Each structure stands twice: as structure tokens, then as C-alpha cells.
Amino acid sequence: MCLSSPQQLVGVVGLEVHAQINSNTKLFSSSPARFSAPPNSLVSFFDASLPGTLPVLNKQCVEAAVMTGLALNCTINKKSLFDRKHYFYADLPAGYQITQQRRPIAVDGVLSYSLLGGKTRNQVIRKRVHIKQIQLEQDSGKSLHDDARSQTLIDLNRAGVGLMELVMEPDMSCGEEAAAAVRELQLILQALGTCQGNMSEGQLRVDANVSVHRPGEPLGVRTEVKNINSARYLARAIDYEIQRQIEVLQNGGTVHNETRAYDSKSGETIPMRDKEGLQDYRFMPEPNLPPLIVYEDDASLPTGIDACQTVVVQKIKEALPELPGVKRDRLVQTYGILPEHSFTLLNEDGLVEYFEALLKATKKEPRKVIGWVTNDLLGHLKRHDMSVKTSRNALLNTQQRTLILSNKFIQAH
């Protein structure tokens, strides 16, 4: 846990999370949104910014943003606006990104998350981080640098893919808290089906804004650590950056407002460039997109409007699934398992469903089954590089189920 005294410099951490929307097509074009396709094989005329092409908004992406906002207790703006954010990279052919800077689709939310603390890591410590906003925006392409040939290759397959940018307020104080918040967000997005959340494939990318100060004093100058692609690296990068800034200040130096990257090999953050100000982006209203209107319920729909072309908040709210925090509490209360076991069940995709299916089929004592599941089963899967999700049908085979839950296997639990 993050500990400090009133006289110490302490960390202040905010996050910007870019979540790739789980959609068949891109945000403003009909191009497929897939990973690992051949370079430049999923590029429409609009994605390549050919003159005269216009954006057509993907309704599925809007519904995903609304559902995510509802799950995070946000206020859904019934009218949101699109803007152009100008910057010049080779993998951004238009010279600008379509985003929502002035009036995003969702604002003022809260993400509740939990940490396991105490000497034996079995004490549940509940935390909250405020969500400033969720905005829809398009992704850029990808630049591949070939140093041997002194060339930069451009792949536009990712250009135009729909993103949700979630801006978290600086309510966290260390890497452990930030990593726990991101893991909880990842589970929520996966439960909703709005983002697959695979960080290794770039479906969830995190930027950390880090500063230090003494409690009660103004916040210090912040640095931004960009594009961290795992929760473990996020925790390490933030803790390193906090300690680096503390040492700079204690030695009489100055912390500079800059962008840094995390080097996982050295465990250090390294400078990338001076941080760009808002004025550099020359934000302006997107002239080719009207205001985005969503409706509270069917009664608020205008007469004669095509219901297939509308987004209704109440319908999305009714479709919300059981969220991870609620599911953990239910598992503890219903089956009497330990809180740390509820975390283990949710951290492995498909394990909750498997655990409950075993209980229903075998009528065994929940505490015995959870002991076997979290120790023997997960250990076996890890040794054989398997997962519950890919092996679930085999694991639920009647003969195997009878064998693995015999007294011979669970008597130790």
C-alpha cells in the first residue's frame, strides 16, 4: 500500500486510458477493425484521408461509450460534440484526429476498485477514482521504424479504429493503486463487451500523469508517461517516476513538464519530448459531423424518427450485466468464500462460471471446491499454458468432473 507522513513528498497520479471499442468496423468508416491483418489491407478512402471523403458515425461505438459511461456512474450528455485535434505525424494522414474535447459523451463518473492489503494480503481495501470524462475518438495508424534501412513504414490498418478515452482524476498516490484501478476497469469493459481489454494487442493503452507534493500544498509539475501496455509495468513506471521526481527535488533540481516513456528492461522512465500544450493542437469544431444526440427513453424520441438510427440510454441501462465488484460481493456472501478467492475467480476469464457450474453439478462444499480450483486447477493450467476459457468444455466433461472432485483430490482442502 501507499504510505506517507505529512512531511514527506508523496505521489499524485492521474490516468488517461485509451480503450479500443469492440466493434466490427471503424468509428467513421465501414473498414473492418481487426488485429494482425496484412499491412494496409483494412483501409478505406476515408481512413487514408482522400479528398472528398466524409465520416459516417458507427452507432455500435456510440452505444459502447454510453454503456461504459453508465457502468462507471457517469452522466451521459444527451448532446455531445466532435472536434478536430491537429498534430502532424506520418501515421495520421489527415493531419488531425476527430475527438470530443469540448463536450464529451459522458462526464463525472466514479470507478470503485479494491486492493488486497494486510500482512497476508487478505484484507480488502476499497478505493475510488473519479472519472472526469469519456470521449469518443479515432485511433491513428502505426509507424514501424526500420533503422537498418533508415526508413519509417506506415500501416493504416489501425487508423480510424474507434477508441474511448477515459480520463481519471489524480486521485491515486502510487503505482499499486493505479494498476488496481486499471485492472478493475479492464474487467468492467470485458464484462460489458465494449472492449476486449487485451493490453498486449494494444486494445487498452495507458498514459500516467505523475507529480509529487507535500500533503496540503499545491500539486507539483507533472510528467506524462506514455503508452504503458501492462498493469505490472504501469505500477513500476509510476513508482519509479515518483521516486525520480522526489530525488530531483531533494537534490535542489527542477521537475520539467515533459513526456516520458517506460523502459521495461532498465525499469526506468526516459525523456521523449517536452510536453505539448493544448494550444499546439489547434482544436476546432468538426465541420463534417453534426452534434451527437442520444435519448433518455422511447418517450423522448421525436415523432417520425427511425428508431434503428437512435441510441436510447434506458435500453442500454437495462442491458447492463453484473459488474465485477457486485459479482465479487455476491460470491463471498453466497458461497462463504474468502475475499481473496473472489479476486482470483474474476481475474481468470471464465473461472467464475466454471466454479459455479462445478458447485451445481457436484453439490460439494464451496470452500473445498474453491481450494481445488484456485490451487490445483489453476496450477495445472499454468504448467500446461492453458486457460479456463479455452479448456472449459473439456473441464466440464462429466467423467473428468467426477474424477477431479472425488475425495482423493479435495480431501486436503
CA distance linking residue 369 with residue 357, whole number of Å: 11
Q: Say if residue 337's pLDDT is above 90.
A: yes
CA distance linking residue 233 with residue 207, whole number of Å: 12
CA distance linking residue 100 with residue 367, whole number of Å: 48
CA distance linking residue 188 with residue 196, whole number of Å: 10
pLDDT in tens, 272-328: 866 554 457 899 999 999 999 999 999 999 988 887 889 999 999 999 999 999 999
Please tell me the number of Cα atoms within 13 Å of 396 on its side-chain side: 17
- CB of 180 closer than 8 Å to CB of 127: yes
Number of helices (H), then strands (E), in the chain: 12, 16
Closest alpha carbon to 114 in 17, 171, 204, 183: 183
**Domain ranges across the chain:** 10-285, 324-410
The rounded mean pLDDT for the chain is: 90
Instruction: Please state which of the ranges 88-102, 200-214, 351-365 shows the lowest mean pLDDT.
Output: 351-365
Amino acid at 56: V
> pLDDT exceeding 90 applies to what percent of the chain?
70
Q: What is the pLDDT of residue 7?
A: 65
- CB of 178 closer than 8 Å to CB of 13: yes
pLDDT in tens, 32-73: 999 889 999 999 999 999 999 999 999 999 999 999 999 999
Extended strands (E) in 118-254: 123-138, 142-146, 151-155, 162-172, 204-213, 223-228
